[in-house]
Amino acid sequence: PPAAKPLPAYAAWKNPAAMVVHSATTIETRRSAFGTGLITPAQQLYIRNNLPAPNASILEQREAWTISLEGVKQPRSMTLAELKTLGLETVATVLQCSGNGRGFFPSKPSGTPWTVGAAGCVLWTGVPLRNVVAALGGLADDAKFITGTGGEKLPEGIDPLSVVVERSVPIKALDDCLLAWDMNGEPLSLAHGGPLRLIVPGYQGVNNIKYIKRLAFGSSESKAKIMAHGYRITPPGAQSGPEQESVWEMNVKSWINGPLPEAGAVKAGLVQLHGVAFGGSKAIARVEVSTDDGKTWHPARLTGPDLGRFAWRQFAVALKLPAGNYQVASRAVDSAGNVQPAERLENAHGYNNNSWRDHAIQLTVA
């Protein structure tokens, strides 16, 4: 096999054994590294940057970081220190790249071929966005979108809209949003968006703007390329554009994290299968496991603490498996009755893959 790529400097503190380095800006968690943990440790959480990460000097004076708040009755800039006086909340969310599972598309869409590791379950601490809005006199008009802008330094000589990481989400997300400065109980690292990051619980990764420097409420979506053309559910072969569905809320999904085929054959008898399941903004109602390509399903148990509807749930089931080769799949159902589908939704850029068949593993029992 080709030599593994080294971790880039800004992520040198990650656990190399837990990561697959696709490139300096796309680093995936190994499926085997998820283990049976509920919270994903920072050292093994995936990274996805659309632009090179800013210089680490932006973390030198965290409290002095400023964010411009627009589309409120009293628009102005606030420092991180001031935000910290407005409220405090911790929320557990699944952070998942919209391209997670792209590696399973036989059509090989361009983009990183993530399998399951562009996701993690993380604790964020920050101020509820609604508190910030209230402190600034409320919304100015009847806003339809929340737009966050990343604080990267943009390359010169090209149209800023063609490169800026700026995403809009529907205003209905306002009640759940957080401006976060802590991840898993530690000050937010540069790799994950420190000093300040927008968290939109239940929404695909791209909407969670790192190094956020501007947050605006308004009546229309950002004209940035990453919003208007990027991250759209585009029919295969078609051009992406604003008329197509944007990559917003996550769909119901689960996968098995163990035992995995790379650990070798499993001993015949009672086999403990375990994995994770999440429903975007909806709680997980149940998870089932199949060893016969979905002909029969066995209910799994939801284990571990329930950290709320935006977090993932761990599940486990013990199945009696005689010697043989098995395709083992899990299928989750959310509280609204949405069932994880067998098939992926084909789309040009390989987004939103929640096919249970694609995420199945091949196990040898001996």
For the bound state, the minimum distance from the C-beta of residue 106 to ligand MSS, rounded and expressed in Å, comes to 21
Give the pairing type, strands 301-303 and 313-321. Answer: antiparallel
Name the one range near ligand MSS by CB under 6 A: 41-49, 256-264, 273-281, 282-290.
41-49
Among 168, 204, 281, 347, binds ligand MSS (CB under 6 A): 204
Q: Does 246 bind ligand MSS (CB under 6 A)?
A: no
3-state SS assignment for residue 149: strand
Q: Does 51 bind ligand MSS (CB under 6 A)?
A: yes
Give the pairing type, strands 166-170 and 178-183. Answer: unpaired
Q: Does 192 bind ligand MSS (CB under 6 A)?
A: yes
Q: What φ, ψ does residue 191 adopt, rounded to 5°?
A: -55, -35
Among positive and negative, which fits the CA dihedral 104, 109, 113, 117? Answer: negative
Among 22, 31, 48, 282, binds ligand MSS (CB under 6 A): 48
Judged by CB under 6 A, the chain residues 306 through 365 that form the site for ligand MSS are none
Q: Does 260 bind ligand MSS (CB under 6 A)?
A: no
Instruction: Please give the Cα distance from 95 to 82 (Å, whole number).
Output: 26
Instruction: Please give the Cα distance from 327 to 105 (Å, whole number).
Output: 18
Among 211, 217, 248, 326, binds ligand MSS (CB under 6 A): 211
Contact predicate 27/45, CB 8 Å:
no
> By CB under 6 A, how many residues form the interface with ligand MSS?
23
For the bound state, the minimum distance from the C-beta of residue 293 to ligand MSS, rounded and expressed in Å, comes to 30
Among 26, 40, 44, 49, binds ligand MSS (CB under 6 A): 49
Window 98-127: contact mask with ligand MSS (x via CB under 6 A): xx----------------------------
Among 26, 44, 115, 208, binds ligand MSS (CB under 6 A): 208
Instruction: Please give the Cα distance from 357 to 101 (Å, whole number).
Output: 11
Q: Which is nearer to ligand MSS, 15 or 335 (CB)?
A: 15
Helix (H) or strand (E) holding 89: strand 89-96
| Tokens read off for 244 | 């197509």
Name the one range near ligand MSS by CB under 6 A: 201-209, 251-259, 298-306, 308-316.
201-209
Encoded amino acid at 99, one letter: G
Q: Does 22 bind ligand MSS (CB under 6 A)?
A: no
The residue with tokens 């993932």 is 312
Encoded amino acid at 360, one letter: A
Instruction: Please give the Cα distance from 226 to 96 (Å, whole number).
Output: 17
Contact predicate 136/69, CB 8 Å:
yes
Among positive and negative, which fits the CA dihedral 300, 117, 11, 309? Answer: negative
Which of 204, 202, 201 lies closest to 245 in space, CA to CA?
204
Among 71, 205, 280, 304, binds ligand MSS (CB under 6 A): 205
Instruction: Please give the Cα distance from 180 to 193 (Å, whole number).
Output: 9
Among 42, 127, 173, 209, binds ligand MSS (CB under 6 A): 209
For the bound state, the minimum distance from the C-beta of residue 62 to ligand MSS, rounded and expressed in Å, comes to 16
Name the one range near ligand MSS by CB under 6 A: 35-43, 44-52, 284-292, 324-332.
44-52
Give the pairing type, strands 212-218 and 66-70. Answer: parallel
Window 156-175: contact mask with ligand MSS (x via CB under 6 A): ---------x----------
Instruction: Please give the Cα distance from 88 to 109 (Å, whole number).
Output: 41
Q: Does 31 bind ligand MSS (CB under 6 A)?
A: no
For the bound state, the minimum distance from the C-beta of residue 69 to ligand MSS, rounded and expressed in Å, comes to 17
Q: Does 206 bind ligand MSS (CB under 6 A)?
A: yes
Residue of minimal Cβ distance to ligand MSS: 150
Q: Does 135 bind ligand MSS (CB under 6 A)?
A: no
DSSP state of 222: -
CA 161 to chain centroid, in Å, comes to: 24
Per CB under 6 A, residues contacting ligand MSS are: 45-51, 95, 97-99, 150, 152, 165, 192-193, 204-206, 208-211
